[in-house]
């Protein structure tokens, strides 16, 4: 069976509970974890260990918190007051974990589903999304990773153009794949608003409701947006159901069998930062 799983964020106990609930077997099943593997929860190192133990049975995407861990580990960004990454950073094998993390992807297409951490802009089709994700992945795995991490942060440019090059192109891609929530009528990003879909800033809509979206008709699964909650449509799965904030950890079966969403409670409750 094939599953897609929302943001774990270092909640390893809940993750183990979810694996038990779906009776996950690495020899039989496969999962895609939609990014934000770590941070805010308190069992980050244990979460990475468990995911690595699953080997090829688990495809892990990178979210904004995972990229933040890479930046902190390389001295590019400081720890924030809400970060809970010290168990990884203080680990005797931290370098090995950072190397393991940087090898993961920003987008995947499996079982007919496009999977990303946050979303896409309306100008991107499936192939463009995968191509741009691959460009960022190449820098994360390359010798220039630290230079890339230094220019990764920022809200500009806010609108896609095929003429974007260099750091602007990479930064925009990262912001779309790991941070997007709302866009305006022409796909310009609005990266400050974090509430649910009903609280869209004036003139903006959730990215998946943007008119003329080129991925219309391509089923998409994403996480990142805990205030949005569960969306379970034939062509759209929103699976960040706020585990670390007192919600649930969610998985959905996507292999063409009976659609099933499985949720488990999380014992950790974090204060919003």
Mean pLDDT is lowest, of 6-10, 22-26, 114-118, 264-268, for 264-268
Residue 124 lies in a domain: yes
Residue 273 lies in a domain: no
The string of pLDDT tens digits covering residues 159-203 is 999 999 999 999 999 999 999 999 999 999 999 999 999 989 999
Percentage of the residues of the chain whose pLDDT score is greater than 70: 97
Nearest-angstrom CA–CA distance, 37 and 5: 10
DSSP 143: T
Residue 120 lies in a domain: yes
Nearest-angstrom CA–CA distance, 200 and 35: 24
Nearest-angstrom CA–CA distance, 262 and 48: 22
**Cβ pair 251, 6 in contact under 8 A:** yes
Residue 153 belongs to domain with CATH number: 3.60.21.10
What SS3 state is found at 2? strand
Residue 107 lies in a domain: yes
Nearest-angstrom CA–CA distance, 70 and 93: 14
What is the pLDDT at residue 269? 58
Nearest-angstrom CA–CA distance, 226 and 228: 5
What SS3 state is found at 251? strand
**Cβ pair 171, 132 in contact under 8 A:** no
Tokens of 191: 């990266």
If you average pLDDT over every residue of the chain, what do you get?
95
Handedness of CA 85, 273, 192, 154 (dihedral sign): negative
Mean pLDDT is lowest, of 7-11, 56-60, 202-206, 266-270, for 266-270
* Domain assignment of residue 225, given as a range: 2-265
Residue 146 lies in a domain: yes
Residue 184 lies in a domain: yes
To which residue do tokens 């008709």 refer?
217
Domain count, the chain: 1
Residue 271 lies in a domain: no
**Cβ pair 261, 230 in contact under 8 A:** yes
Nearest-angstrom CA–CA distance, 153 and 171: 7
Tokens of 270: 């974090």
What is the pLDDT at residue 258? 72
Residue 182 lies in a domain: yes
φ and ψ at residue 209, rounded to 5 degrees: -105, 5
What is the pLDDT at residue 257? 66
Tokens of 140: 């994360």
Polymer length of the chain: 273
**Tally of CB atoms within 10 A around 89:** 16
User: With bands split at pLDDT 50, 70 and 90, how would you rate the model's confidence at 272?
Assistant: very low
What is the pLDDT at residue 232? 96
Looking at the chain, list the stretches that DSSP marks H as alpha helix, in order from N- to C-terminal side. Answer: 12-21, 44-53, 64-73, 86-89, 94-102, 126-141, 145-150, 166-179
What is the pLDDT at residue 74? 96
The string of pLDDT tens digits covering residues 85-101 is 999 999 999 999 999 99
**Has residue 256 got a pLDDT over 90?**
no
């Amino acid at each position: 069976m094939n599953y897609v799983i929302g943001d774990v964020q270092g909640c390893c106990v809940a993750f183990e509970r979810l694996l038990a609930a779906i009776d996950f077997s690495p020899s039989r099943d496969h999962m895609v974890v939609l990014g934000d593997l770590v941070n805010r929860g308190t069992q980050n190192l244990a979460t990475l260990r468990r995911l690595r133990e699953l080997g090829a049975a688990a495809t892990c995407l990178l979210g904004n918190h995972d990229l933040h861990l890479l930046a902190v580990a390389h001295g590019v960004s400081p720890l924030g007051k809400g970060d809970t990454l010290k168990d990884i950073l203080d680990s005797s094998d931290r370098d090995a974990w950072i190397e393991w993390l940087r090898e993961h992807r920003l987008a995947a297409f499996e079982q007919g589903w496009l999977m990303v951490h946050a979303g896409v802009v309306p100008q991107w089709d499936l192939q463009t999304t995968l191509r741009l994700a691959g460009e960022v992945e190449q820098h994360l795995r390359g010798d220039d990773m630290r230079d890339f991490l230094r220019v990764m942060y920022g809200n500009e440019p806010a609108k896609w153009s095929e003429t974007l090059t260099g750091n602007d192109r990479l930064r925009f891609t990262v912001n779309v794949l790991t941070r997007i929530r709302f866009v305006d009528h022409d796909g310009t990003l609005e990266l400050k608003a974090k509430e649910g879909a009903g609280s869209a800033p004036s003139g903006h809509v959730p990215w998946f409701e943007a008119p003329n979206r080129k991925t219309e008709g391509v089923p998409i699964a994403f996480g990142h947006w805990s205030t949005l909650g569960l969306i379970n449509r034939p062509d759209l799965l929103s699976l960040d159901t706020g585990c670390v904030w007192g919600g649930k950890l969610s998985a959905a079966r996507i292999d063409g069998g009976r659609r099933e969403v499985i949720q488990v409670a999380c014992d950790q409750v974090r204060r919003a930062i």
